[in-house]
């Protein structure tokens, strides 16, 4: 068998960054490179799998346990975040990590420092994979992909392992909130599923943010600066004023736990016109709706001050909190807890400060909590993952399968 590190390194070598500006499905054709690779690998193992036009790989391992047990799915996404480059990733492998700072050798002076990332100390003595400081790593979610593929390979090479029907799914565009827009739950055929898309070892999540994106457009008026008095409307400055109306304490860097936030993610503009992109998040539905109302009130304030039509906003819903759909099937959480404990992993049940494909899938009739994939500091150059966490995650998948087959 190819070990999980080898799989992971092969998968992160493929650039699969999704594109929020694209209307296609998948949003970037380059995601098909990895999707085709995975589809071919599954079929080469003897697992019947298909890749459809929308970028979904679905595979099935038939039951061999002779019992009537539910079909269980395991899902991961292949795309990486638009927030940082996913091209020409050059991973660093630190074996027997000594517990100190880790230089990211692609950028002089850049390092993963214990003073800034104290969680590194938990992995002393382990093998850690980092970036070289010039790109993200892609553990979100190619670690989940590698863990599922390792599970599949193990099962196909160990026919004595008893299991029910297993469904495998790989999706595109999760990072831009469109991962399962055209996912056919009935065709997938699982009764329950798990996304392997969480963070540090032990994480188990069945609550997530309610989420929306917002694009604020400011229409300014450019006048020669020598003659601008009383005439110019500087879209950049008005946009900055709009942003200042949002509560400072409700930014991601000041929130945790169940706290929601407003997060500005992008700005493009000139004096004549400017666009500001935001994401809006809250676990509580009422507070989520109030956050959207706050954006509209800020638009109204700007228009009242500078003139109707100067500011406008488009708010797009992305996903809802999955708790409502998963909690009635709490036995799938109990099985995940036991599966972790069987591997000596302490479950950490807490809300996701983000979202997964599982959120939308849960509302599409497929209860789908989220399990750790093992990585840290997703979406940026400080991303890292301990190999041992990936190994444990793959074993947890096998344990869940065994528990359902009992």
Which of the residues are catalytic? Answer: 79, 174
- DSSP per residue over 50-113, as a string? EE-TTS-EEEEE---S-S----EEEEEE--B-TTS--SS---EEETT--SS-EE-TTSTT-EE-
Q: Using the 8-state DSSP alphabet, how is residue 331 labeled? A: H
* DSSP secondary structure, 280-298, as one string: EEESSHHHHHHHHHHHHHH
Task: Give every CB contact of residue 370 below 8 A, 6+ residues apart in sequence.
Answer: 194, 195, 196, 197, 198, 203, 204, 205, 206, 208, 352, 356, 358
- Helices 31-45 and 139-157 pack at an angle, to 10 degrees, of 10
Q: Strand, coil or helix: what is 339? A: helix
Instruction: Give the gyration radius of the chain's Cα atoms.
Output: 23
**Coil, strand or helix: which one is 17?**
strand
Q: Please, which residues bridge with residue 39 across strands? A: none
How far, in Å, CA of 128 to CA of 95, rounded? 7
Q: Token pair 């989940």 is at which residue?
A: 144
Whole-angstrom CA distances from 101 to 94, 299, 375 are 11, 45, 17
- What 3-state class would DSSP assign to 302? helix
Measured distance CA(139)–CA(197) in Å, rounded:
9
Smallest CA-to-CA distance from 82 within 160, 163, 36, 18 is with: 18
Question: Is-contact 207 368, C-beta < 8 A?
Answer: no
Helix (H) or strand (E) holding 48: strand 48-51
Question: What is the 8-class DSSP label of residue 386?
Answer: E
| Pair 345, 356: CB distance under 8 Å | no
């Amino acid at each position: 068998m190819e070990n999980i590190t080898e799989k992971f390194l092969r998968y992160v070598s493929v650039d699969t960054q999704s594109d929020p500006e694209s209307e296609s499905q998948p949003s970037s054709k380059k995601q098909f490179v990895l999707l085709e690779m995975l589809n071919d690998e599954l079929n080469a193992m003897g697992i019947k799998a298909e890749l459809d036009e929308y970028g979904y790989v679905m595979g099935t391992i038939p039951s061999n346990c002779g019992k009537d047990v539910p079909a269980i799915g395991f899902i991961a996404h292949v795309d990486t975040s638009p927030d940082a480059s996913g091209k020409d990733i050059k991973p660093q492998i630190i074996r027997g990590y000594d517990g100190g700072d880790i230089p990211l050798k692609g950028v002089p002076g850049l390092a993963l420092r214990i003073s800034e990332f104290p969680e590194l100390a938990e992995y002393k003595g382990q093998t850690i994979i980092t970036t070289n400081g010039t790109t993200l790593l892609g553990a979100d979610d190619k670690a989940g992909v590698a863990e599922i593929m390792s599970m599949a390979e193990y099962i196909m090479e160990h026919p004595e392992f008893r299991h029910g029907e297993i469904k495998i799914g790989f999706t595109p565009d999760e990072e831009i909130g469109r991962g399962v827009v055209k996912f056919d739950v009935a065709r997938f055929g699982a009764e329950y599923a798990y996304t392997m898309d969480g963070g540090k070892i032990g994480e188990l999540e069945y609550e997530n943010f309610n989420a929306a994106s917002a694009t604020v457009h400011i229409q300014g008026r450019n006048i020669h600066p020598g003659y601008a008095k009383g005439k110019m409307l500087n879209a950049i400055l008005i946009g900055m004023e709009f942003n200042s109306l949002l509560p400072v304490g409700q930014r991601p860097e000041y929130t945790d736990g169940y706290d929601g936030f407003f997060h500005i993610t992008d700005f493009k503009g000139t004096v004549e016109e400017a666009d500001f992109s935001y994401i809006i998040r809250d676990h509580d539905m009422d507070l989520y709706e109030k956050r959207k109302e706050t954006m509209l009130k800020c638009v109204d304030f700007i228009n009242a001050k500078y003139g109707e039509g100067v500011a406008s906003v488009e708010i797009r819903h992305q996903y809802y909190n999955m708790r409502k759909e998963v909690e009635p099937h709490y036995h799938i959480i109990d099985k995940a807890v036991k599966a972790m404990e069987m591997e000596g992993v302490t479950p950490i049940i807490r809300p996701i400060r983000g979202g997964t494909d599982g959120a939308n899938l849960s509302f599409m009739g497929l209860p789908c909590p989220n399990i750790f994939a093992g990585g840290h500091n997703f979406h940026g150059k400080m991303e890292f993952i301990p190999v041992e966490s990936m190994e444990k995650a793959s074993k947890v998948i096998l344990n869940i399968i065994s528990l359902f087959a009992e």
